[in-house]
Amino acid sequence: MAQGPVKLKPGDTIGILGGGQLGRMLAMAAARLGLRCQVFSPDPDSPAFDVVQAATCAEYADVEALELFANDVNVVTYEFENVPAATAMVLAARRPVLPAQKILETTQDRLVEKDFVSKLGIGTADYADVSSVATLHAAIARIGLPAVIKTRRFGYDGKGQAIVRDGDDIDQIWEDLGTKSAILEAFVPFEREISVIAARSASGQVECFDVTENEHRDHILKTSRAPAAIPDALAAQARAIAEKIASALDYVGVLAVELFVVPGNGAPTVLVNEIAPRVHNSGHWTLDGASISQFEQHIRAIAGWPLGKPVRHGEVVTMTNLIGDDILSYEQWLTVPGATVHLYGKGAPRPGRKMGHVTEVTPPRKS
Ligand code: AMP
């Protein structure tokens, strides 16, 4: 269906696919701007259901439910990148879907994504397509060890990937991965990991937040710090990369680009690891640490409203994820001076489950 540019008015409704904490925080940002949200999720315990008046609890393959949902909303967005293509197609035939469906085809597949980034002339780890144990051996011969093998699709938080080291049983690693489509990446000896959260409007305006530095524990983001402790020139380079990617995708909304900082010739440089076509955990600090949050920027972009120019509050902002049993200490966090506590309203604290986060803003230095 041909659709003109989206221009929502206060009171209009945004449909959000996915009911996790990202959907919840998107809906809260929309509410502050006078916009309503309807959340679509198959999980009856979705944390995002708690903050919206209208919810659809149905499977993503339920065409009738999708059609009814589309009828209720003015525009559709999503909080996770693995939206099934058929789901996006049913919705896109009825309502604008932003970011556009074709973006999912690039970002759902690590090989397609890496090819896309490389064609833009942006550096990534050396990589190879792997579809059998024979091609894995050939890829190792070319790329060398250590290396990281990753399934092309459906990997997150370290799932669907393994480090391959000298002396490992390659055939066993391939069997354990349990897929026929993977990529092998050179292991990057990174100095640090950073991310850029960028917003792009339909008219092509791009606004990036301060580059964020991220530390993972057990493959899951544990803390973020903004700004990243990197030279200004490198931060500018990282932001330029995010802008180039957003523009090349003709992207509307917020996206995150995860990068590795690696030693370069004289000065450090960056390699792109991954693109997330959505708001991102490493941008949670913007809720309390900037004049406009990543969630509000995303809502503004998909509503066809002008983006804000985000200004960071304070010298340094840190964000600490409350993962699994970390949540049991929430009352202690409530007493920490200057800390802002966010709890996602999830049920049991399973290991690895993101239950909430805490932001701390260091006041500006007095000059
Ligand atoms: P990913 O699922 O690709 O975001 O990877 C999760 C985490 O694994 C990253 O944040 C890195 O800490 C680590 N990692 C992924 N790929 C590589 C690589 N090629 N070299 C070194 N570490 C990696």
In short, whether 217's Cβ falls inside 6 Å of ligand 1 is: no
- Residue 245's pLDDT is 98
- Residue 128's pLDDT is 98
- Residue 143's pLDDT is 98
- Residue 206's pLDDT is 98
- Asked if the structure places residue 8 within a domain, the reply is no
Q: Is 30 exposed, middle or buried (0-12, 13-18, 19+ CB in 10 A)?
A: buried
- Asked if the structure places residue 350 within a domain, the reply is yes
- Residue 205's pLDDT is 97
Q: Is a pLDDT exceeding 70 seen at residue 326? A: yes
Q: Are residues 74 and 147 in the same domain?
A: no
Cα of 157 vs centre of ligand 1, distance in Å, is 9
Q: Is a pLDDT exceeding 60 seen at residue 332? A: yes
Q: Are residues 65 and 214 in the same domain?
A: no
Cα gap 136→134, rounded to integer Å: 5
Percent of the chain with pLDDT over 70: 98
CATH number, position 64: 3.40.50.20
Q: Are residues 199 and 296 in the same domain?
A: yes
- Split at pLDDT 50, 70, 90, the class of 53 is very high
- Residue 116's pLDDT is 98
Q: Are residues 86 and 136 in the same domain?
A: no
Q: Are residues 210 and 87 in the same domain?
A: no
Q: Is a pLDDT exceeding 80 seen at residue 7? A: yes
Q: Are residues 208 and 63 in the same domain?
A: no
Kindly give the interhelix angle for 63-72 and 85-92, rounded to the nearest 10 degrees: 40
In short, whether 261's Cβ falls inside 6 Å of ligand 1 is: no
Q: Are strands 206-208 and 192-200 parallel, antiparallel or unpaired?
A: antiparallel
Q: Which amino acid belongs to residue 177?
A: L
Query: Which residues make Cβ contacts (< 8 Å) with residue 113, sequence separation at least 6?
Result: 106, 107, 274, 275
Return left, alpha or beta for 43; rule: phi > 0 is left, psi -120 to 50 is alpha, else beta. Answer: beta
- Asked if the structure places residue 262 within a domain, the reply is yes
Q: Are residues 241 and 209 in the same domain?
A: yes
Q: Is 336 exposed, middle or buried (0-12, 13-18, 19+ CB in 10 A)?
A: exposed
Q: Are residues 219 and 154 in the same domain?
A: no
Least confident of 160-164, 210-214, 291-295, 332-336: 160-164
- Residue 1's pLDDT is 52
| pTM of the shown model | 0.96
Q: Is a pLDDT exceeding 60 seen at residue 263? A: yes
In short, whether 159's Cβ falls inside 6 Å of ligand 1 is: no
Cα of 117 vs centre of ligand 1, distance in Å, is 16
- Asked if the structure places residue 3 within a domain, the reply is no
Report cis status (omega within 30 of 0) of the bond before 227. yes
Residue nearest to atom 19 of ligand 1 (CA): 187
DSSP string, 51-69: G-SEEEE--TT-HHHHHHH
Of the three residues 151, 167, 186, the one that is the final residue of a domain is 186
Cα of 215 vs centre of ligand 1, distance in Å, is 11
The model's pLDDT over 187-204, given as tens digits with 9 standing for 90+, comes to 999 999 999 999 999 999
- Asked if the structure places residue 115 within a domain, the reply is no
Q: Are residues 144 and 25 in the same domain?
A: no
Q: Is a pLDDT exceeding 80 seen at residue 181? A: yes
CA-based torsion, 167, 352, 217, 240: positive or negative:
positive
Q: Is a pLDDT exceeding 80 seen at residue 3? A: no
- Residue 272's pLDDT is 98
- Asked if the structure places residue 176 within a domain, the reply is yes
In short, whether 193's Cβ falls inside 6 Å of ligand 1 is: yes
Q: What angle do CA 78, 81, 83 make, to 5 degrees?
A: 70
- Residue 48's pLDDT is 98
Structural domain for 355, as ranges: 192-362
Kindly give the interhelix angle for 21-32 and 294-303, rounded to the nearest 10 degrees: 70
Q: Are residues 163 and 43 in the same domain?
A: no
In short, whether 158's Cβ falls inside 6 Å of ligand 1 is: yes
- Asked if the structure places residue 105 within a domain, the reply is no
In short, whether 219's Cβ falls inside 6 Å of ligand 1 is: yes
CATH number, position 355: 3.30.470.20
- Asked if the structure places residue 7 within a domain, the reply is no
- Count of domains for the chain: 3
Q: Are residues 180 and 247 in the same domain?
A: no
CATH number, position 140: 3.30.1490.20
The model's pLDDT over 208-241, given as tens digits with 9 standing for 90+, comes to 999 999 999 998 999 999 999 999 999 999 999 9
Q: Are residues 170 and 263 in the same domain?
A: no
